[in-house]
Amino acid sequence: MTENDFVPKGSTSLPMDGKVRYKAPSNIALVKYWGKKENQIPANPSISFTLDACATTTALSYKRSEKLLDSFSLELFFEGKLKEDFKPKIITFFERIEKYVPFLKEYHWKIETSNSFPHSSGIASSASGMAALALCLLSVEKSGNPEMSEDYFNQKASFLARLGSGSACRSIEGDLIQWGHTPGIPGSTNLFGVTYPFEVHQNFKNYHDTILLVHKGQKTVSSTVGHELMYGHLYAEKRFEQAHQNLEKLKKIFGSGDLDAFIEIVESEALTLHAMMMTSLPYFILMKPNTLEIINRIWSFRLATKTPICFTLDAGANVHVLYPESHKAKCIQFIQDELVAYCENGHYICDRIGKGAQRLVVDQQ
């Protein structure tokens, strides 16, 4: 497919007004995407677990204007409060997607959004937030084109979400989503996320992710800036090659259920992500001392007990602790006994693999 496949063909009869509501989850990458090209195209492919509890719920109300507007008309509420400082990001998103959602200036939009996790928790909400908003907008289009297939709907929703936040394209479906063209995965594309097409062993079903909130403050360097620093990075090309290689290795690992090999790739990917940050120019470090303390305790516990527990990291200090359903009780006990002490105010979130976004019943007012 190409971008032009997502441009609506012909005119459709859209409603005068309405409201739609979606809940979209966050996701945690196993093979990391770091570095992007123009129009939110990834420099390397990635794959992620779709989460369940960590999610954004967005309600989109719309009313047709009497005439075509010169600019976007919208208001945005976060956790029930008007948030003017959020609007510039939404306007930028609307500008990027207007070609594919040509009715944006025909309506006034009211966006009401909230997260299931604290806004200051250090968990990036851009993936879940942009995914939820993209789904709401596409639902408006589908109301004028009821013949739109489910596959096309999911692909276009992922495509639109990507233009808001790259990783948001992995928050439409579940439970294992791959994004970015790579030769070994049929159907893979830079345009949207796809459901992983190969066999996945029972070991990786119902996987758990306990998120340890080491630092809740704003990052010293944003992910947007970090992605840009991959241009001209001394090790960038080798890193991009490594991502393709790790995706190829995961095909056998996911099929066989080899937890040891899975752990090796996931932890290596996390550390490589931060190594790229530390070797950028300018260089920066997002991990905190407690991040390293948690990693070392996970390693010691795994070595002593042979429990298949591991960590991964996003572009920040917080630690995602991954473990299979069959070891849940032992891992939770270890986390509570030894790791929670290193979290800010003892805060952590228990999550697990989810099945993707879902449309919710609209509140009757």
**Which are the contacts of 196, defined by CB distance < 8 A and separation ≥ 6?**
47, 176, 177, 178, 185, 254
pLDDT for 120:
56
d(CA 125, CA 41): 20
- Distance in angstroms between the alpha carbons of the first and the last residue of the chain: 41
The helix/strand/coil state of 347 is coil
pLDDT for 345:
94
* Side-chain half-sphere exposure of 248, counting CA atoms within 13 A: 8
DSSP 136-178: HHHHHHHHT-TT--HHHHHHHHHHHHHHH-GGGGGSSB-SEEE
d(CA 360, CA 269): 35
Bond prior to 8 in cis (omega within 30° of 0): no
Which residue's structure tokens are 């290596």?
268
pLDDT for 188:
98
d(CA 35, CA 293): 28
Contact (CB, 8 A) for 61 and 110: yes
Per-residue pLDDT for the chain (365 aa), expressed as one digit of tens each? 999 999 998 777 899 999 999 999 999 999 999 999 999 999 999 999 999 999 999 999 999 998 888 999 999 999 999 999 999 999 999 999 999 999 999 999 999 999 998 765 657 689 999 999 999 999 999 999 999 999 999 999 999 999 999 999 999 999 999 999 999 999 999 999 999 999 999 999 999 999 999 998 778 888 989 999 999 999 999 999 999 999 999 999 999 999 999 999 999 999 999 999 999 999 999 999 999 999 999 999 999 999 999 999 999 999 999 999 999 999 999 999 999 999 999 999 999 999 999 999 987 54
Residue whose C-alpha is closest to residue 321's, from 236, 212, 167:
212
This prediction has a pTM of: 0.95
pLDDT for 261:
98
Which helix (DSSP H) or strand (DSSP E) does residue 87 occupy? Answer: helix 87-97
pLDDT for 217:
78
pLDDT for 68:
82
pLDDT for 364:
52
pLDDT for 74:
96
d(CA 286, CA 317): 6
d(CA 122, CA 26): 13
Q: CA separation (Å) from 180 to 39, 153, 159?
A: 13, 19, 12
